[in-house]
Each structure stands twice: as C-alpha cells, then as structure tokens.
Amino acid sequence: MPIKDVLLPLVGEPNQATIAAIDKCVAVAGDLGARMCAVAVEEDIIVRPKVISTDLDNSAAAEAARSVTDVQGLLKVFDSAAIRFGLRNEQKLVRWAAADIAPSLAQYARLRDLSFVPVKSHDSRSEKIIEQLLFQSGRPIVLCPEDRAAELPVAFNDVLIAWDHSAPAARAVADALPVLQSAETVRIITATDDSTADEMRSGADLVAHLAEHGIKAAFEAVKINGSSIGKVFEAYARAKAVDLLVMGGYGRTRLSEIIWGGATKTVIGQPPCWVMMSR
C-alpha cells in the first residue's frame, strides 16, 4: 500500500535544527506524494515570577500564571515549507499539558500511514513521544535526527534493513515495502558474532520474500566485536552512506532496554540517518 497520509508532530520551540528537520520532513512527504497533517502542540508551562513579591496574593497569582510554548513559529515554518514543496497539508493547533502530549499524538497517528518525528539527540521528551507512537499508535514512525537534518537526502534510494527474525523486525519490513520497492539498493544485515545456520537461513529467506515483491536485496552478517548492536547499525549506516535504516523497535521488553541498553535505545538516542521503525 503506498504511503499517502502522514503525521508530523510539532513540539517545542523554533531553533535552527528543528526548522531544518521540519523542512526536510515536508520535502520527503512531498516526494512520496503524501498529504501531511501537522499537529502543533502548545504546551502548558508555568511561568515563575521574575520578582518575588511581598504581597502574598500577588505572589501566588504569579506562581499560578501559565503560558504556552511558541509553537506558532513552528507552524509558520511548516506552512512556508508546504507552500514551497507544493505539499497537500492539514494544520491543527492543540493545547495540552506536558503529560498528555505523547499519548495524544499516538491517538492522532492511528489514522495515518506513518508519523515523521524530528528527534533531538538524547532528549527525554523525544524518546517519550517515540515510545508512545511505537506502542500505542499501531503505525510505523520515521525518525529525523535534527542535528543532521540539513544533510539528509529527500529520496530513500539506499535502504538498510536491520534483521533479527523478530516480530517487530518483520512488521518493520512489511511497513517499509512501498519504500523498499522504490529504492535503488536494499541491504539486509544481521548483527551477530556467531553467524549460525539459522541466522543465515533467515537472512536468505528474507531476500527471497522481498524478491516476490520485486525487490532485489543482498544479505550479510556483520560482527558485533564487543560493541553494541545499535552501534553496529550506526557504524554500518554511516560507512555505507545509507539513506534509511529500517528496523523493529523494542524487540526485547522496554524495561530490559532501559536497564541493560539495547539497539532501540541507542538508535532513538541519536539516529545515524533517517530511521523507519515499527513494533
């Protein structure tokens, strides 16, 4: 099924990196021929008084004063990019408390083909939004690393699949089929030090499965060599100048990844390129 209807959450304040990420997400949506719904979140924030008043009533009122994040600036950036790229779009302005942002965005995402998510490096709020979208939307997400947005490609010509024969990885491959079918190069890697017969067979079976969809792919096992699987993906993607990494999210439980670390946590913390993730 082609990708035709996508979501872009706009959260936080305008800065150069975020603006570049919005611009690039809009460009990709335009290249896909999709409609994009931008949901701009005005976040309720408490404004602390600049001057401590001796008047208890006024002081209490100042403590209780509320404001919102300047998301209007992000909407202006989105609108400008949408006009420039001729993107069909819808814009929504909502106002939510911080605790409601991630779960509410997941509800919006359920009726979209996928969600683009601008990602700040090692940012807890970005991580919460990504996790809610993965666990609660039932739809794939595409991560756009803000710190690398300006150099990211618009077209996904060289695609890497991180394969471990897990259910999330299988879901990611299925969700990515429209992108894989239009790619020029599709690589599949399994990060392992053993290269067991089962792992090699699974990789070969995925190559055969993709061939039935008209996709020519190549498989290889890549050694971990004392690193982490997430770092292996990162190093491979950068060495091969990959445009898009396709992977399953949280193949292990979320708790085990928090305690012990894992590929999902590593990639979410600092995506090495565009990343399409499903669960």
One digit per residue, the tens of pLDDT, for the chain of length 279 reads 899 999 999 999 899 999 999 999 999 999 999 999 999 999 876 656 555 555 545 544 444 454 566 789 999 999 999 999 999 999 999 999 999 999 999 999 999 999 999 999 999 999 999 999 999 999 999 999 999 999 999 999 999 999 999 999 999 999 999 999 999 999 999 999 988 999 999 999 999 999 999 999 999 999 999 889 999 999 999 999 999 999 999 865 554 444 334 889 999 999 999 999 999
Domain boundaries, position 223: 155-278
Instruction: Report d(CA 152, CA 21) in Å as an integer.
Output: 9
Judge if 118 and 168 occupy the same domain: no
Which SS3 state, helix, strand or coil, does residue 161 take?
A: strand
pLDDT at 259: 37
Structure tokens, 137: 């939307």
11 and 101 together in one domain = yes
Domain end, chosen from 149, 181, 203, is at 149
Burial class (CB in 10 A: 0-12, 13-18, 19+), 17: middle
Residues 109 and 219 reside in one and the same domain? no
Do 145 and 195 fall into the same domain? Answer: no
| One domain, residues 178 and 89 | no
**Residues 69 and 161 both lie in one domain:** no
- What is the signed CA dihedral for 72, 74, 77, 80, rounded to 10 degrees? -50
Q: Where is the domain boundary, 93, 124, 149?
A: 149
Asked if residue 269 and residue 143 are part of one domain, the reply reads no
Final residue before a domain boundary, out of 131, 149, 167: 149
Are the C-beta atoms of residues 57 and 69 closer than 8 Å to each other?
Answer: no
The pair of three-digit structure tokens given for residue 236, joined into one six-digit string = 């491979």
Assess whether 124 and 185 both reside in one domain. Answer: no
Does 72 share its domain with 169? Answer: no
Show the tokens assigned to 172.
């990611």
Same domain flag for 138 and 184: no
What's the structural domain count of the chain? 2
Residue 44: predicted pLDDT:
73
Q: Are residues 95 and 9 in the same domain?
A: yes
Mention every residue, 6+ apart, whose C-beta is less than 8 A from residue 102.
Answer: 128, 129, 131, 132, 133
CATH number at residue 99: 3.40.50.620
Same domain, residue pair 38 and 115: yes
The secondary structure of residue 113, as a DSSP letter, is S
Strand partners, 188: 161, 219
Q: Which residues pair with 68 in a beta bridge?
A: 44
Structural tokens at position 36? 């994009």
Tell me the whole-structure pTM to 2 decimals.
0.89
Largest Cα separation within the chain, whole Å, is 76
